[in-house]
């Protein structure tokens, strides 16, 4: 189980790319890709980015910085924790990041049990190498709520190295010089790098480093701000004042960024009825 970068889960028919997103409506709870797809129409009740809030207190400066990026409301809980406020089943509820994470785990557990046709209780969960003890405990609490027995928390850097080497048949013998490999993981909101030495049936972590505040979303922020400035001058609208419009722009920018990685030509962006019944256009070149 690969935690929070995105989950690769076995479905009954095919592999699904499982998104770390939980949404609430008047009738039910929506999780994964379905939650992501309805985000624009249900902005204030769709929760994402909760991994970065695990095990932290509401008044933590880091938490306050993260909450600025989230469209949902949040308030301190009686124990000083973070309460994410959403409208669910016609009433306002306050859920902790651990409870939100447990909802995601519960869905993953159910999906796994359907695919494997057996009960799933034991698991190993990979976490960012920079997670503190408090964050790791928060994750364990979430797993317990979901009815999972966590055999071990494994650093994502170690999990990546294990995935690389476990099926390799051409690794050097124990008495030979090891094969040294560097892994670079630039995720949504963090960067992790590790160096590993491999022998057949064995790996040794030589070094690892991480920046918890550098990831793909930082590129998205820069590009989004560029388009915001352009729209303010060209259309006299400010996407910052409309959470739904800002989310739509962020989603389009993410698509544009992915296209730019494979294209050096000028790429257009068009959004209909963006704000104030105005259609907007833009373009960007790598």
Cα 36 to the center of its chain, rounded Å? 11
Same domain, 19 and 95: yes
In a domain, 137, yes or no: yes
What does the chain come to in residues?
Answer: 286
Same domain, 34 and 141: yes
Helical residues (DSSP H) of 90-171, grouped into ranges: 97-116, 133-145, 156-165
Domain housing 146: 7-154
Look at residues 137, 154, 171 and tell me which one is the last residue of a structural domain. Answer: 154
CB 70 within 8 A of CB 53: no
The answer to whether residue 164 scores a pLDDT higher than 90 is yes
DSSP assignment string, 262-281: T--S-EEEEEEEEETTEEEE
Same domain, 139 and 247: no
In a domain, 199, yes or no: no
Sign of CA dihedral 114, 118, 121, 126: negative
Q: What is the pLDDT of residue 4?
A: 39
Look at residues 109, 135, 154 and tell me which one is the last residue of a structural domain. Answer: 154
Q: Which helix (H) or strand (E) holds 225?
A: helix 216-235
What would the pLDDT profile of 209-251 be if each residue is shown by its tens digit? 999 999 999 999 999 999 999 999 999 999 999 988 999 999 9
Nearest to 172, CA basis, from 149, 147, 200, 208: 200
Strand ordering across the sheet containing 46-48: 29-31, 21-24, 46-48
The CA distance from 154 to 77, in Å, is 30
Count of the separate structural domains present in the chain:
2
Its pTM stands at 0.85
How do strand 149-155 and strand 122-127 relate by DSSP bridges? parallel
What would the pLDDT profile of 56-72 be if each residue is shown by its tens digit? 999 999 999 999 888 89
What would the pLDDT profile of 80-98 be if each residue is shown by its tens digit? 999 999 999 889 999 999 9
User: Using the 8-state DSSP alphabet, how is residue 89 labeled?
Assistant: T
Residue 138 buriedness (CB in 10 A; 0-12 / 13-18 / 19+): buried
Neighbours of 203 (CB within 10 A): 20
In a domain, 200, yes or no: no
**CA distances to 169, 181, 203, 282 from 174, in Å:** 13, 16, 10, 57
In a domain, 21, yes or no: yes
In a domain, 201, yes or no: no
Task: CATH number of the domain at 250, please.
Answer: 3.90.640.10
In a domain, 41, yes or no: yes
Same domain, 19 and 140: yes
Q: What is the pLDDT of residue 235?
A: 94
Q: What is the pLDDT of residue 17?
A: 55
CB 85 within 8 A of CB 94: yes
**CA distances to 65, 137, 151, 231, 245 from 240, in Å:** 16, 35, 44, 11, 8
Task: CATH number of the domain at 113, please.
Answer: 3.30.420.40
Look at residues 122, 154, 186 and tell me which one is the last residue of a structural domain. Answer: 154
Same domain, 240 and 117: no
In a domain, 168, yes or no: no
Same domain, 30 and 138: yes
Same domain, 139 and 248: no
Same domain, 16 and 119: yes
The answer to whether residue 108 scores a pLDDT higher than 70 is yes
In a domain, 54, yes or no: yes
Q: What is the pLDDT of residue 107?
A: 92
């Amino acid at each position: 189980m690969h935690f929070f970068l995105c989950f690769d889960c076995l479905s009954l028919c095919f592999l699904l790319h499982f998104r770390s997103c939980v949404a609430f409506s008047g009738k039910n709870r929506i999780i994964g890709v379905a939650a992501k797809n309805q985000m624009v129409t249900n902005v204030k009740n769709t929760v994402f980015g909760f991994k970065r809030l695990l095990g932290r207190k509401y008044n933590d400066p880091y938490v306050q910085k993260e909450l600025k990026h989230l469209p949902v409301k949040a308030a301190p809980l009686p124990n000083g924790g973070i309460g994410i406020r959403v409208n669910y089943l016609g009433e306002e509820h306050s859920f902790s990041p651990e409870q939100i994470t447990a909802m995601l785990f519960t869905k993953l557990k159910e999906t796994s049990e359907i695919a494997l046709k057996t009960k799933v209780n034991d698991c190993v969960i990979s976490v960012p190498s920079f997670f503190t003890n408090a964050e790791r405990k928060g994750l364990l609490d979430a797993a317990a709520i979901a009815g999972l027995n966590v055999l071990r928390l494994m650093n994502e850097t170690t999990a990546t190295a294990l995935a690389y080497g476990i099926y390799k048949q051409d690794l050097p013998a124990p008495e030979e010089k090891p094969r040294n490999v560097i892994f670079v993981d630039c995720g949504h909101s963090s960067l992790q790098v590790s160096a590993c030495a491999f022998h057949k049936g064995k790996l040794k972590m030589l070094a690892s480093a991480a920046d918890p505040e550098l990831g793909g979303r930082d590129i998205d922020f820069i590009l989004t701000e560029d388009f915001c400035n352009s729209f303010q001058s060209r259309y006299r609208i400010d996407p910052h004042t409309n959470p739904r419009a800002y989310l739509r722009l962020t989603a389009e920018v993410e698509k544009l960024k992915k296209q730019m990685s494979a294209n050096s030509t000028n790429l257009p962006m068009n959004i209909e009825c963006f704000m104030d019944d105005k259609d907007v256009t833009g373009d960007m070149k790598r």
